[in-house]
């Protein structure tokens, strides 16, 4: 069945195919299993009528309420060859959500109602298809590591409603072989003196096909607010398709908004320097890419998980 | 002490009576055939018109950008016939029409600094002239309708080749109804020291203007072409769906400047496209001030080592929605694109910068740098930046930066402490913001641009 997913908040010309993602999907549904947890309490139940900003509707889904206090809490779903549709309702302090598994099908919405920091790590692989929609109703920092499998569709949506609030979304993505990535991230500014930023670092290789849509939207009345948006992507193959649509929408005079997109091949001077120190070309490239990613990875509050992510990125590169 | 510039905005609002004018209203096969017959066109041109009409009926309205639902083509005069033949003498142009162009300063500019002038009034070119020495060098600058008859082989070779008739709904409309416009051919190695200028004036209430401009700049040549547009204001919609096709050959350079000041009842749905061959360069300079809605995204298609530079300023006031930007397709290697766009919005005006960049696989070592700055003068206005970019190779360097801001209170304070009023201070800041753009225009047009900025600002800020 064909789905049209992850629509941009404002459409632009159709001939560059960036407004939405058309996908043919066969969804094979199985029974939901339990999340693995550490330092969190969860309540789960099956509910009806799943919907998210991505637009992949389903009948039944697993509703997960997550609570914890100050410690770093963990919620993990490991599902080789399996299926999950869920809504994760976050009422935690520091939470790490991990998805793992080969050939998995993930359709999830993460609603952040209370948190200081939430890190979402998608380590699914091979033929996995993931559709991760994040709605942030707090001032928390959200880190999203999108390594995923064959199809990875993600959405971040946050409107800053409280005066003097800050909203930060950091993301890393990796696309290889013939993987498809569609990333649609939005921050709306709806009060005075708010700050928001979307920081995205990525790497594409082989025949990967990526669309990044980022939106900074200043509403009327958002005086004194500032918003930044950055996408920096390294292209490692001449067969990749890299699309970007970094939008800046403004309905208020007294704001400061910037966006920047930078795309290109790996810095040859850095590569030459590292290779002159005895590293192979491949090792040098991995090192440069990881150094780009490091400022986001540093926000992950678990050194072991950070190392696991680094190993996984190195393996995939 | 006030240094206010006295402005006469009536020069843009001058209307000519329409008693002796016959108008064709609406769009049918019969109307298209009638226009073609009126122009005594060859069959191949009529065939293009009819094919375009077919596409127009089939193609959907755009599902993005400003809302165009207010447009009812059954109410638009698709052809305004005055029965005036194009002349190369201003004396032959009817007095009332000549007066309009006099007020716009066209004949005067022709004497001072232009190599040739074309002047279109509604659907017809009323004046077209190029300097004799340029004619001797093989330069052709004439009414597009004339070119179809006098240079059919050249026109056939290039017409519809840059902008195909099925590109989008409004270009199909254009090809069904095109009338007037300029044809320019610059032979190999010819360097024009002074610019050519075509001025398009839409006078009739509820009318459409569909001029077609086709420019070919052969190898190692240089041309600066200036396009001016204006119309008096009415309380009904007018439509402009023109088309510009540009061919810049190997090592050639074309500078294409536009100052657009359509009236605030105009839908400006113009299409411009440039093919730039090896080592060629296109420079787009655009000032957009008028119209109710503008959708204008000049496109450049770049071959090996070709360059594109765009400098753009939009100024949207009350009731205006100016959706402008560009498209760039890099086909060849080592291409370079530099874009500098600025917009100012006030009194509820909407400025949108919309760009589409495509870097193809073969376009290795391409470099693109896009910069957008927006200035908002109040909180009821809008300023959006919607840039999309698709890269299909691994050694392109692409950067895009956008900034939105307001007039800094510190700067106003500084200027006021030097004796200026708040209004004057703001006006100076806005002119300073626009200055990097206006300074790339020829002097006379920079003056016109500043005059338009002043007109837009007058009495609205402070």
Mean pLDDT estimate for chain B:
88
- HSE, CB side, 13 Å, CA atoms: give it for residue A300: 25
- Determine whether the interchain pair A260/B376 forms a contact, defined as Cβ–Cβ distance below 8 Å: no
- Residue B433's Cα: distance from chain center in Å? 22
Q: Convert the pLDDT of each residue in A47-85 to its tens digit.
A: 999 999 999 999 999 999 999 877 899 999 999 999 999
Q: Convert the pLDDT of each residue in B304-319 to its tens digit.
A: 999 999 999 999 999 9
- Determine whether the interchain pair B379/A221 forms a contact, defined as Cβ–Cβ distance below 8 Å: yes
Query: How far is Cα B329 from Cα A243, in angstroms, rounded to an integer?
Result: 14
Q: Convert the pLDDT of each residue in B234-264 to its tens digit.
A: 778 889 999 999 999 999 999 999 988 888 8
- Determine whether the interchain pair A263/B389 forms a contact, defined as Cβ–Cβ distance below 8 Å: yes
- Determine whether the interchain pair A257/B402 forms a contact, defined as Cβ–Cβ distance below 8 Å: yes
> Which of B297, B326, B388 should we substitute to test contact with A (largest number of A Cβ atoms within 10 Å)?
B388
Report, in angstroms and rounded to the nearest whole number, the Rg of chain A calculated over CA atoms: 19
Hunting for tokens 């920081």 — which residue is that? A199
Nearest chain B alpha carbon to A13: B64
Nearest chain A alpha carbon to B393: A238
- Determine whether the interchain pair A12/B388 forms a contact, defined as Cβ–Cβ distance below 8 Å: yes
Contacts of B155 (CB under 8 A, 6+ apart): B147, B148, B183, B214
Q: Supply the range of the domain harboring residue A7.
A: 2-316
Q: Which of A12, A15, A258 sits opposite B402 (nearest CB)?
A: A258
Nearest chain A alpha carbon to B352: A249
Band (B19; pLDDT cuts 50, 70, 90): low
Tokens of B298: 């000049």
- Determine whether the interchain pair B384/A247 forms a contact, defined as Cβ–Cβ distance below 8 Å: yes
Q: Which of A18, A223, A260 sits opposite B400 (nearest CB)?
A: A260
- Determine whether the interchain pair A264/B398 forms a contact, defined as Cβ–Cβ distance below 8 Å: yes
- Determine whether the interchain pair B382/A250 forms a contact, defined as Cβ–Cβ distance below 8 Å: yes
- Residue B243's Cα: distance from chain center in Å? 9
Sign of CA dihedral B261, B263, B265, B270: negative
Query: How far is Cα A96 from Cα A84, in angstroms, rounded to an integer?
Result: 18
Furthest CA-CA distance within chain A? 59
**Distance between first and last Cα of chain B:** 16
Tokens of B274: 């440039």
Instruction: Count structural domains, chain A.
Output: 1
Smallest CA–CA distance, residue A297 to chain B, in Å, is 24
Chain A hits for B389, Cβ within 8 Å: 242-245, 261, 263
| H, E, C per residue of chain B | CCCCCCCCCHHHHCCCCCCCCEEEECCCHHHHHHHHHHCCCCHHHHHHHHHHHHHHHHCCCCCCCCCCCCCCHHHCEEEEECCCCCECCHHHCCHHHHHHHHHCCHHHHHHHHCCEEEEEECCEEEEEEECHHHHHCCCEEEEHHHHHHHCHHHHHHHCCCCCCCCCCHHHHHHHHHCCCCEEEEECCCCECCCCEEEEEECCCCCEEECCEEEEEECCCCEEEEEEEEECCCCCCCEEECCEEEEEECCCCEEEEEEEEECCCCEEECCEEEEEECCCCEEEEEEEECCCCEEEECCEEEECCCCEEEEEEEEEECCCCEEEEEEEEEECCCCCEEEEEEEEEECCCCEEEEEEEEEECCCCCCCEEEEEEEEEECCCCCEEEEEEEEEECCCCCEEEEEEEEECCCHHHHHHHHHCCCCHHHHHHHHHHHHHHHHHCCCCHHHHHHHHHHHHHHHCCCCC
Report the DSSP beta bridge partners of residue A264: A234
Chain A hits for B402, Cβ within 8 Å: 246, 248, 257-260
Contacts of B424 (CB under 8 A, 6+ apart): B2, B3, B4, B415
Residues of chain B with a CB closer than 8 angstroms to some CB in chain A = 62-65, 297, 327, 354, 356, 358, 361, 364, 374, 376-406
> Which of A12, A216, A267 should we substitute to test contact with B (largest number of B Cβ atoms within 10 Å)?
A12
Nearest chain A alpha carbon to B329: A16
- Determine whether the interchain pair A11/B376 forms a contact, defined as Cβ–Cβ distance below 8 Å: no
Q: Which of A12, A257, A259 sits opposite B354 (nearest CB)?
A: A12
Question: Which backbone phi and psi does B63 adopt, to 5 degrees?
Answer: -100, 25
Band (A265; pLDDT cuts 50, 70, 90): confident
Q: Which of B386, B397, B404 sits opposite A257 (nearest CB)?
A: B404
pLDDT at B7 over 50: no
Q: Convert the pLDDT of each residue in B374-384 to its tens digit.
A: 888 888 899 99
Query: How far is Cα B188 from Cα B157, in angstroms, rounded to an integer?
Result: 17
C-alpha closest to that of A25 among A130, A177, A133? A130
- Determine whether the interchain pair B406/A254 forms a contact, defined as Cβ–Cβ distance below 8 Å: yes
Query: How far is Cα B86 from Cα B121, in angstroms, rounded to an integer?
Result: 10
Please give the pLDDT value at position B406: 77
- Determine whether the interchain pair A243/B390 forms a contact, defined as Cβ–Cβ distance below 8 Å: yes
Q: Which of A235, A251, A260 sits opposite B382 (nearest CB)?
A: A251
What's the whole-number mean pLDDT along residues B63-92?
Answer: 86
Cα torsion for B5, B11, B12, B18, to the nearest 10°?
160
Pairing of strands B182-186, B140-143: antiparallel
Band (A15; pLDDT cuts 50, 70, 90): confident
C-alpha closest to that of B372 among B330, B394, B336, B343? B343
Q: Convert the pLDDT of each residue in B125-169 to its tens digit.
A: 888 888 888 899 999 999 999 999 999 999 999 999 999 999 999
Sign of CA dihedral B46, B51, B54, B58: negative
pLDDT at B52 over 50: yes
Q: Convert the pLDDT of each residue in A155-209 to its tens digit.
A: 999 999 999 999 999 999 999 999 999 999 999 999 999 999 999 999 999 999 9
CB A265 within 8 A of CB B395: yes
> Which of A220, A252, A262, A268 should we substitute to test contact with B (largest number of B Cβ atoms within 10 Å)?
A252
Chain B hits for A257, Cβ within 8 Å: 402-404
Query: How far is Cα B284 from Cα A141, in angstroms, rounded to an integer?
Result: 43
Contacts of B20 (CB under 8 A, 6+ apart): B82
Chain A hits for B163, Cβ within 8 Å: none
């Amino acid at each position: 069945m064909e789905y049209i997913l992850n629509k941009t908040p404002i459409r632009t010309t159709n001939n560059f195919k960036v407004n939405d993602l058309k996908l043919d999907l066969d969804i094979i549904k199985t029974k939901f299993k339990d999340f693995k947890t550490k330092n969190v309490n969860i309540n789960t139940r099956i509910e009806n009528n799943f919907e998210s900003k991505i637009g992949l509707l389903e009948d039944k889904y697993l509703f997960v309420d997550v609570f914890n206090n100050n410690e770093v809490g963990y919620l993990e779903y490991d599902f080789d060859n399996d299926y999950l549709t869920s809504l994760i309702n976050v009422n935690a302090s520091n939470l790490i959500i991990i998805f793992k598994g080969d050939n998995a099908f993930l359709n999830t919405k993460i609603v952040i109602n209370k948190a200081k920091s939430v890190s979402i790590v998608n380590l699914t692989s091979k033929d996995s298809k993931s559709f991760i929609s994040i709605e942030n109703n707090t001032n928390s920092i959200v880190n999203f590591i999108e390594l995923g499998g064959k199809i990875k569709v993600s959405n971040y949506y946050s409107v800053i409603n409280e005066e003097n609030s800050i909203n930060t979304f950091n993301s890393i993505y990796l696309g290889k072989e013939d993987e498809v990535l569609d990333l649609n991230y939005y921050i709306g500014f709806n009060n005075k003196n708010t700050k928001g930023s979307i920081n995205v670092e990525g790497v594409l290789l082989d025949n990967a096909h990526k669309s990044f849509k980022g939106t900074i939207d200043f509403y009327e009345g958002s005086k004194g607010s500032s918003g930044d948006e950055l996408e920096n992507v390294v292209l490692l193959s001449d067969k990749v398709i890299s699309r970007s649509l970094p939008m800046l929408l403004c309905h208020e005079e007294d704001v400061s908004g910037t966006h920047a997109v930078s795309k290109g091949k790996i810095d040859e001077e850095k590569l030459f320097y590292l290779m002159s120190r005895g590293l192979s070309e491949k090792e040098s490239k991995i090192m440069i890419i990881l150094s780009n990613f490091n400022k986001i990875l540093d926000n992950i509050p678990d050194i072991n998980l950070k190392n696991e992510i680094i190993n996984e990125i190195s393996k995939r590169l | 002490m006030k240094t206010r510039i006295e402005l006469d905005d009536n020069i843009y609002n001058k209307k000519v009576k329409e008693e002796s004018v016959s108008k064709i209203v609406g769009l049918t096969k019969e109307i298209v055939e009638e226009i073609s017959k009126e122009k005594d066109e060859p069959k191949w041109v009529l065939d293009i018109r009819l094919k375009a009409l077919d596409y127009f009926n089939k193609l959907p309205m755009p599902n993005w950008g400003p809302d165009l639902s207010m447009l009812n083509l059954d109410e638009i005069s698709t052809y305004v016939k005055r029965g005036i033949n194009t002349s190369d003498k201003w004396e032959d142009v009817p007095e009332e029409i000549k007066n309009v162009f006099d007020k716009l300063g066209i004949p005067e500019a022709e004497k001072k600094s232009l190599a040739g002038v074309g002047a279109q009034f509604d659907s017809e070119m009323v004046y077209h002239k190029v300097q004799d020495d340029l004619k001797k060098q093989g330069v052709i600058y004439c009414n597009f309708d004339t070119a179809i008859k006098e240079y059919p082989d050249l026109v056939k070779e290039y017409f519809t080749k840059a902008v195909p008739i099925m590109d989008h709904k409004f270009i199909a409309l254009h090809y069904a109804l095109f009338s007037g416009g300029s044809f320019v051919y610059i032979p190999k190695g010819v360097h024009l020291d002074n610019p050519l200028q075509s001025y398009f004036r839409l006078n009739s209430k509820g009318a459409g203007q569909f001029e077609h401009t086709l420019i070919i700049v052969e190898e190692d040549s240089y041309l600066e072409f200036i396009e001016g547009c204006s119309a008096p204001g009415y309380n009904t919609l007018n439509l402009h769906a023109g088309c510009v096709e540009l061919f810049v050959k190997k090592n050639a350079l074309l500078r294409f400047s536009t100052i657009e000041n359509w009236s605030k009842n105009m839908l400006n749905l113009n299409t411009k496209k440039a093919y730039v061959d090896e080592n060629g360069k296109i420079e787009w300079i655009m000032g957009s001030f008028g119209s109710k809605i503008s959708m204008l995204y000049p496109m450049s298609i770049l071959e090996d080592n070709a360059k594109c530079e765009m400098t753009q300023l939009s100024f949207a006031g009350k009731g205006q929605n100016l959706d402008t930007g560009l498209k760039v397709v890099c086909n060849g290697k080592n291409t370079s694109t530099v874009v500098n766009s600025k917009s100012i919005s006030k009194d509820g005006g909407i400025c949108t910068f919309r760009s589409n960049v495509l870097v193809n696989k073969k376009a290795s070592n391409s470099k693109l740098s896009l910069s957008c700055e927006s200035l908002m003068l109040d909180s009821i206005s809008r300023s959006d930046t919607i840039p999309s970019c698709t890269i299909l190779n691994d050694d392109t360097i692409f950067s895009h930066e956008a900034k939105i801001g307001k007039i800094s209170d510190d700067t106003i304070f500084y200027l006021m402490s030097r004796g200026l009023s708040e209004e004057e201070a703001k006006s100076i800041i806005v002119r300073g913001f626009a200055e990097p753009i206006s300074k790339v225009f020829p002097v006379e047009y920079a003056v016109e641009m500043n005059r338009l900025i002043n007109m837009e600002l007058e009495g609205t800020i402070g």
